[in-house]
Chain A
Amino acid sequence: MDGTSATEQTREGPSASDAVVVTRGLTKRYRGGQLAVDDLCLTVPAGSVFGFLGPNGSGKTTTIRMLMGLIEPTSGTAHVLGRPMPRSARAVLPHVGALIEGPALYGFLSGRDNLLRLDAADPTADPRTGKARVAAALDRVGLTAASGKKARAYSLGMKQRLGLAAALLRPRRLLVLDEPTNGLDPQGMREIRALVRELATDGTTVFLSSHLLDEIEQVCTHVAVMARGRLLTQGPVAELAAGARGRLVVTTPDPADAARVLKEQGLGDVEADGGRVTAEPPARDLAEVNAALVTAGVRVRGFGVERASLEDAFVALTGEGFDVAG
């Protein structure tokens, strides 16, 4: 992947050649006039676990549907595995496993027959190995014991697992998982997240949409943030969290003195709140700041930088909480 020539980068912008998903100016306006996705430029690096974050109604699912060739963009382009969608859907999609807007099953068929049907729908899947692949996929999501039950008797969590199993019927190069832990209990969530990490270790690129910040933070290497159909930012998770910088926190019984010393040391945005004094962390070594405090006779109970969470980053980006877009 890394060996691809630089000339390829000129066509679709930087790093398009080793990106698994590239969209340029992708826009979808529904017939009612509602702008669901607005001028989206997304680049999903190969091998990443790419978190696609945004409140409900921010255009995540519409984007995924465009990537999967289910709906036609109003304008702009989407490339998946280097091929344009939806034009190359039949060549691209056998390499893509997808869970879109929750599982959908044939209630009157058993779990196993549901998977066999989807396997039969894939013209590139070898029908001779179908049963074995279905059994392996069921095993992978822990549904082997329930595979003979009619799907209508499945709980939401089991349906979700079966949907995941469908995405894992064949070795995939890209997995698109839309809210994969919806409806799962905490144990199920942990299992699915472990599965996602495991798949990523195998080299599968995972595109994971979620409205759960901590889920993205736990699992993803990269993240894109959507709100109201627009992309707010994208990049490695660490960078984004660093973008909303952490705070230096000093716990002390002498907050007034501590605040004064921190200001003298040239730290910005100093705030005292009870026994806690916070400030923007300086570029230089924190040990010197600590030494200055102690030298000035400030009694220090705790001293350190509190890392900014993705939530902080999100609030910093949108200037608002994580509510449903109107």
Chain B
Amino acid sequence: MTKSGLAIVGIAEVPTRRDPERQRWDILLDVCMGAIRDAGIDKNLIGAVISNNPMAQPSMQNDMSLGKIPEVMGLKGCRDIAICNAGGASTTNCLRLAEQHIASGQVDYVLIPHTTVQSDMPPQDLINFFATAPLDKQFEYPYGVSFNGSMGLITQRYMYETGATEEELASVTVALRAWGALDPLSIFYGKTVTLDDVMNSRLISTPLKAKECNLLADGGGAMVVTSWEKARELGDKAVYKLGHGTRFMSATPMLREDVFHRQAYRESSRDALSQAGLSIHDMDLRQIYGAYPYTQCSALEGYGVCEDGQGAKLWAEGRCGPGGDLPCTTMGDATGRGHTGSGVSMAFYLDSVRQLRGEAGDRQVDQCEHAILTTSGGSVMNTCTTVFGRKPR
């Protein structure tokens, strides 16, 4: 039996910015049309629209859940509409559902969109959202914990257990911002930071400093996915999903035994790599969506790129940033690109496609044939790891 699977054949993204003048529906239409044009297919071949649920955007959630996209865009071949919500991992769920639709033979092409505008929302509302949605409202929230506070707690323990220094962790942000500075789609395009800039930025929730925390921003992206067979007909632009693995840990951070998610990174990547028939050493690019610097370290440990506790050293030695021999997270993560709510994971997939196509501009990883990508949702409740390649297997 010939193996088949999912392929991404069209992508589009708007630059991440804070611009309340840029409307949610304008972003949405631009990226949906862009992705379909990029795929080079007729709009009426889209058989389903599976949307990434935009967190804290209630009117868009309604529009996207209840079928406005195919109606507004005149997608006359659309047979199904769905929305997936797993916080930051929503895009991953969209891809998994799309793969099932395509494998069932019901549809050939699925459109997966995302849009979010946060710049027109009061900052206090956003702090409240991120403090209450993924944290426990009985035993965490009454103690004044913010999302940054929760991640500060984990980071402090990570330093204690691994011996990683604040400077080593700050070097993660320096590298992520260096990728972002090379990326026209990043809110930090052209804006690098030095180690001193990070270390001297305001203390938010120790050991986290302002530049290590996420800047909430607006953005959007979309992709068109299909089967390997259809993708081959479309030529070189396709990027193929070769393997996938996932692990769930806990909704509430304080209950997480695998506190740095190292074991979850280990097991989900092992499953994904084994399906792909590849090893971590075959990967040319590692894309880690964790939104806070320690995840960029513990993921490398879980993947088996280095020993447990050594992840921060790789970043401090400059090996994961531009010019390094282990390029990681060229997308910049939320720290280096801006946090677009549930859209961060969308941008991770899109950037991986660009890298595998050789379209990543100044950030292009040499001979990028294979990429491993992990997304997470909620308060890092899970790790969803996928291996992509330039060729099907």
Pairing of A with B: no
Interface residues of B (CB under 8 A from A): none
